[in-house]
Structure 1
Amino acid sequence: MSKQVQVHAALFLVALIYGSNYSIAKEVMPFYVGPFGLIVIRVVSAALFFGIFSRMVVKEKIVGRADNLRSIACGVTGIAINQLCFFAGLNLTVPINAALLMVISPVAVLLFSAILLRESVSFRKVSGIVLACLGALLLINTSRSESVSGNIFGDLLIILNAVSFGMYLVLVKPLMQKYKAVTIVSRIFAVGAVIVVPFGWHQLLTPDYGSFPTSIWLAIVFMVLAVTILAYLLNTWALRYANPSLVGAYIYLQPVLAILIATGFGKDEFTLQKGLYALLIFSGVYLVSRTRQNVGKEAPISEASEQA
């Protein structure tokens, strides 16, 4: 299997995992574990796993003040803010809204790439930003009139999560040219764990875990092993061979997969109005992401990105 196929297979698997997580997480929250308590379970479990694996197998350290500060920023944006906003938002809104709003991440990737990596922004990309933002605003406005659309505050939290994750994809790219994926993921989860524990400690201790049915335990195990450990590892590894915009582009698949899974299990409904708003979002992010990608070999970091 060629490296190009491996990268695309990894990114598709990540999209499938995230797409299923919208519905699976809603089964656990908030009746069994609160959103922040669930985050503590996920992040601390991943931090312990990657920490032990990194020390015993990889034995690599991040060196230098600049790289250490960047890895801390990745932990804040890619784990702490990302996870706290996503699960708090998903707890309030519905899976379809959350999945659709997550496609704003590629737009955030473009903006932060222009700021941090000094990449040029064309008229076509600006038009894409306008379309994607318009679709997101219309979808949020729907939350005010449709009871099935959940909570407008939840939608806003999902947007903040999407922006934070987009910034993480840009920040982590230079580190991937220097260190192994496990080394980076180990550090960012350690940083994230320190931040999320105070938020979710009370919710972690509240549930009666002995009363959980088997299906809920399986859902929690899936969120720890697949959504947290495997997805982050695959995404970070893929960034060694692909640009952040390609990794972000695979987020477009998440709403499609999430909608198919949610509607298939009768957990949500997809209206024509939402479809039109989704089309605006997809059109916008498509315009933003229409760039050539060098997949299958390590992309060199530009001088600008090294200084970011």
Structure 2
Amino acid sequence: MNNSLRVHAALFTVSLIYAANYSLSKDVMPHYLSPFGIVTLRVLSATLFFAVAKYLVAPQDKITGRADNIRSILCGICGIGVNQLLFFKGLNLTSPISASLLQTFSPIVVVLASAVLLSEKITLPRVLGIGVGLAGAALLILGRDAHAAIYPQAGLGNLCILANATVFGIYLVIVAPLMRKYHPFTVLGRSFLVGAIIAVPFGWHDALTADYASFPPTIWAEIGFMIVFLTIIAYLLNNWALKYASPALLGVYIYLQPVLAVLIAVSLGKDHFTWAKAGQAALIFLGVWLVSRKPRPVTAAAE
């Protein structure tokens, strides 16, 4: 398998893992584990894994300098701690399809964060894309559908997911320089350690008091999926693929994730897809496509 096929395989696997999580998490929470209890198990497991992996693979690699250390702490706050708490809290309150659609808002945040932090240019199409994407997200957050009785707090859940997509978009911008400078295990080890300090206090009690003896095998399998695949494998594959994938290719797989999430949620009976959601999805996708377009290079005028 050549490197291009490996990148495609990695990005598709990540999209499939994320897409499946929207439905599988619904089986676990809130009946067996609370959202914050799940976050605690995930973050503690990943922190332990990356600490051991870093020690075995890159024991001499250390984040140095005040700027890089501050950046790594911000990565842990945005990419792990706050990100995970918002995501599972939001997913618990809203439907799988709504959550997956709002997650595609991250590229818009990446463009805005890049403009503020990296002084990248914002063109007119990107401004239009931000507006269109915000309109689609607003309609999705404020709209009510046939699942209103099942998810009475869907509006709050959607806001949490949108906030999650926002902090994760910021994380993607601030983590990139660290990934180019240090070993991935070094960066992820530090990020998960900081994230654990933030997230674990919120779910420690729930994780300790859960009735694990009553968990059927399917629930244990889904918890294992969230710890091993969603937390560890997805982060590893995603960070590896980001070194080789073009922005256009990443955009394709950003669109693919909610499509897979819809197919999985509908096939498992966890959600249903309506024309209203199709319209909201179209607005968000159009916004992401507009902001993902690279500005045309300015050609020098002929003398």
In structure 2, what is the equivalent of residue 209 of structure 1? 212
167, 172, 189: which one pairs with 2:170?
167
Matched, 1:286 2:289: yes
* Residue 32 (structure 1) shift: 0.1
**SS of residue in 2 equivalent to 1:121:** coil
The two structures, once aligned, show a CA RMSD in angstroms of 1.8
Cα distance between partner residues in 2 of 1:101 and 1:164: 13
Cα distance between partner residues in 2 of 1:286 and 1:244: 11
* Residue 126 (structure 1) shift: 0.9
Cα distance between partner residues in 1 of 2:246 and 2:80: 20
Counterpart AA for 2:90: G
Question: Which deviations, in whole Å up to 9, do the C-alpha atoms of 1:167-215 show, x marking residues without a partner?
Answer: 0000011011111212111111111111111111111122110110000
Cα distance between partner residues in 2 of 1:248 and 1:66: 30
Q: Is contact 2:82–2:198 with CA below 8 Å preserved after alignment?
A: no
**How high is the TM-score relative to the length of structure 2?**
0.92
In structure 2, what is the equivalent of residue 300 of structure 1? none
Question: Which deviations, in whole Å up to 9, do the C-alpha atoms of 1:275-299 show, x marking residues without a partner?
Answer: 111111111111111239xxxxxxx
* Residue 236 (structure 1) shift: 1.9
Matched, 1:239 2:239: no
* Residue 148 (structure 1) shift: 5.8
Q: Which consecutive residues of structure 1, in runs of 5 or more, have no partner in the other structure?
A: 293-308
Matched, 1:181 2:184: yes
* Residue 243 (structure 1) shift: 6.1
In structure 2, what is the equivalent of residue 76 of structure 1? 77
Question: Which deviations, in whole Å up to 9, do the C-alpha atoms of 1:112-161 show, x marking residues without a partner?
Answer: 01111111011011111111110111111113885167210000000000
**How high is the TM-score relative to the length of structure 1?**
0.90
Q: Is contact 1:12–1:250 with CA below 8 Å preserved after alignment?
A: yes
Identity within the alignment, %: 55
In structure 2, what is the equivalent of residue 28 of structure 1? 28
| Paired residues for 1:247-266 under 5 Å | 247=250, 250-266=253-269
Q: Is contact 1:77–1:168 with CA below 8 Å preserved after alignment?
A: yes
Q: Is contact 2:97–2:261 with CA below 8 Å preserved after alignment?
A: yes
In structure 1, what is the equivalent of residue 56 of structure 2? 56
In structure 2, what is the equivalent of residue 220 of structure 1? 223
* Residue 40 (structure 1) shift: 0.4
Cα distance between partner residues in 2 of 1:224 and 1:31: 18
Between 245-254 and 158-167, the greater mean CA deviation after superposition? 245-254
Between 34-43 and 171-180, the greater mean CA deviation after superposition? 171-180
Matched, 1:142 2:143: yes
Q: Is contact 1:102–1:162 with CA below 8 Å preserved after alignment?
A: yes
In structure 2, what is the equivalent of residue 42 of structure 1? 42
* Residue 3 (structure 1) shift: 3.1
**SS of residue in 2 equivalent to 1:177:** helix
Matched, 1:9 2:9: yes
Q: Is contact 1:110–1:245 with CA below 8 Å preserved after alignment?
A: no
Question: Which deviations, in whole Å up to 9, do the C-alpha atoms of 1:85-107 show, x marking residues without a partner?
Answer: 00000000010000011110000
In structure 1, what is the equivalent of residue 198 of structure 2? 195
Matched, 1:93 2:65: no
Q: Which has the larger radius of gyration?
A: 2
Q: Is contact 2:251–2:289 with CA below 8 Å preserved after alignment?
A: no
Cα distance between partner residues in 2 of 1:4 and 1:290: 22
* Residue 56 (structure 1) shift: 2.0
Question: Which deviations, in whole Å up to 9, do the C-alpha atoms of 1:235-294 show, x marking residues without a partner?
Answer: 2222333467864663322210100000011111101111111111111111111239xx
Question: Which deviations, in whole Å up to 9, do the C-alpha atoms of 1:2-22 show, x marking residues without a partner?
Answer: 433333322221111100000
CA change 1:227–1:262 in 2 (3 A) is same
**SS of residue in 2 equivalent to 1:88:** helix
Q: Report the count of equivalent residues.
A: 292
Q: Is contact 1:128–1:285 with CA below 8 Å preserved after alignment?
A: yes
Between 153-162 and 185-194, the greater mean CA deviation after superposition? 185-194
Cα distance between partner residues in 2 of 1:216 and 1:181: 31
Q: Which consecutive residues of structure 2, in runs of 5 or more, have no partner in the other structure?
A: 296-303
CA change 1:145–1:257 in 2 (3 A) is closer
Q: Is contact 2:262–2:273 with CA below 8 Å preserved after alignment?
A: yes
Q: Is contact 1:144–1:152 with CA below 8 Å preserved after alignment?
A: no
Matched, 1:113 2:123: no
